[in-house]
Structure 1
Amino acid sequence: MPNFKLVAPYCGVRKYDKRFFVYYLETEENIRREYIFNTDEDVSNFSHALENLTAFMNNVPVCKKEAYHQEFLDLLLREVDHKLNIRTDPSKPSAVALAIEA
């Protein structure tokens, strides 16, 4: 999958233009969150914040990683103008999970 980056063991991100697709890899629902930003500055800020999150997660206990990640996203996006679409597909493995296995 082009532009795919693993952020944490349970989560990966793919960027396309002003959209970020966040894939949650260890869920039965195969959840994908699509964040659509209105400005290039917001896209850049989100991208840099994800890089910082990846570095930060190296020092977080495994049992707390997912909670920290979700809290981080909530704080980061609280005052950013964006649109969120959530997709679930419990019948099929996600494309990201298949790409990682390959």
Structure 2
Amino acid sequence: MQRLALRTRLKPGCEEIYDREHAVIPADLDAAMRENGLHSWRIYRDGLDLFHYVEVDDFAALQEALRDHPADIAWQKQMNRLLDGDFAKNVTGLKLVWELP
């Protein structure tokens, strides 16, 4: 299983909207992500900075499977209006520097 840390950034003024819209994600999106190997996805926010912690069988395969999925297309459109850049094009992985085994 892959464990990834990702980083994205919000547009100024979108913090409360982003938090509110993540209170519940669409059930069909939840199902599609789980069916394609997602075990867990956590998002932490510090001001405009978003840090994602993802546990998934294969992140590249998940992205490929969701690319044309109607639930993900709708969700990305909804979220990308709040982000500083397109999630699929601008998500950056964080390098693991240290871990307590």
What is the TM-score normalised by the length of structure 1?
0.37
Point out which structure has higher relative CO (alpha carbons under 8 A, 6+ apart).
Answer: 2
TM (norm. structure 2) is 0.37
